[in-house]
């Protein structure tokens, strides 16, 4: 008799700091309860997560401490892994994004999407700090949220209201490293064509009656409001190399 298969993909914490009770209560404990319950009822369960070791949260922490990004992620992945063991969270796999396997899988998926036309190149404007002599992706730039007025919004999103942001949306943007006002410069990036998936996702969701009603409604509204194509490469040297000619300096 075939068992029902349950996959539980738990949010990956950034390996740039210690975990706190909010991580446990909001993410890991609910997932663990569901995994244990599903196993007890005879389901074939696979629960996975790991340390997210790439991106600007890592490089900013490394810059602030005067160490390499690798030192930061090694420290906090080790700590996160010990935390999970001590708390008894029953992961089948708790891995990390700096493994060779992760690199290969990501590059293979990236190339497949690129070859099918779902990833495309486009010139865009991005903030550049003339003092630090660098582009300012994601968390390297902060400012005021144009939606809720929070003065602590980042270049990728506002934690206060939850809105995803384009750095150019920020009011009075400032460089996270030096506090100076950046300028806009041309740069070329690869974009993921999310807009092509709106109807497919809405159709796929129709029979998902096992979802909680509020979760399903929230997701439907998000999609119906319009999915915007988003840049998925960064002007940064820490991360997985982009497997597309002409973008070797991006991650």
Using 50, 70 and 90 to split pLDDT, how confident is the model at 22? Answer: very high
CB atoms within 10 A of CB 135: 18
pLDDT of residue 120 exceeding 70: yes
pTM of the model: 0.84
- Span 195-204, average pLDDT: 96
What pLDDT does 202 receive?
96
Average confidence (pLDDT) over 226-242: 93
State the pLDDT at residue 1.
59
Per-residue confidence band for 7, with pLDDT thresholds at 50, 70 and 90: very high
The CA distance from 180 to 156, in Å, is 19
Q: For residue 232, what pLDDT is reported?
A: 94
**CA 204 to CA 183: how far, in whole Å?**
42
Write phi, then psi, for 69 (nearest 5 degrees). Answer: -55, -35
**Quick one: how far is CA 33 from the chain centroid?**
24
Q: What is the side-by-side order of every strand in the sheet holding 171-175?
A: 153-154, 141-144, 171-175
Segments of the chain assigned to CATH 3.40.50.620 = 5-98
Closest to 45 measured CA to CA, from 102, 94, 90:
90
Under 8 Å CB-to-CB from 166, ≥6 apart: which residues?
A: none
5-98 under CATH 3.20.20.70, yes or no? no
| Average pLDDT score over residue span 125-144 | 92
């Amino acid at each position: 008799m075939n068992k029902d298969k349950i996959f539980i993909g738990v949010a990956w914490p950034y390996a740039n700091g210690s975990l706190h009770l909010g991580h446990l209560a909001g993410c890991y404990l609910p997932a663990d309860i569901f995994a244990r319950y599903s196993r007890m009822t005879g389901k074939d369960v696979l629960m996975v997560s790991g340390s997210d070791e790439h991106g600007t949260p890592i490089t900013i922490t490394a810059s602030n401490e005067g160490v390499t990004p690798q030192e930061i992620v090694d420290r906090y992945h080790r700590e996160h892994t010990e935390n999970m063991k001590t708390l008894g969270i029953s992961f089948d796999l708790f891995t990390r994004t700096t493994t060779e396997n992760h690199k290969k899988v990501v590059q293979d998926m990236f190339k497949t999407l690129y070859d099918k036309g779902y990833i495309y190149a486009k010139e865009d404007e991005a903030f550049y700090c003339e003092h630090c002599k660098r582009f300012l992706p994601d968390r390297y730039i902060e400012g005021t949220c144009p939606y809720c007025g929070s003065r602590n919004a980042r270049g990728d999103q506002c934690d206060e209201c939850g809105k995803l942001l384009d750095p150019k949306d920020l009011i009075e943007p400032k460089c996270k490293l030096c506090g100076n006002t950046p300028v806009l410069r041309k740069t070329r990036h690869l974009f993921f064509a999310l807009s092509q998936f709106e109807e497919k996702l809405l159709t796929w969701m129709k029979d998902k009656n096992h979802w909680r009603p509020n979760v399903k409604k929230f997701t439907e509204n998000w999609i119906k409001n319009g999915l915007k194509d988003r840049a998925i490469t960064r002007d940064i040297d820490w991360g997985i190399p982009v497997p597309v000619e002409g973008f070797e300096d991006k991650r």
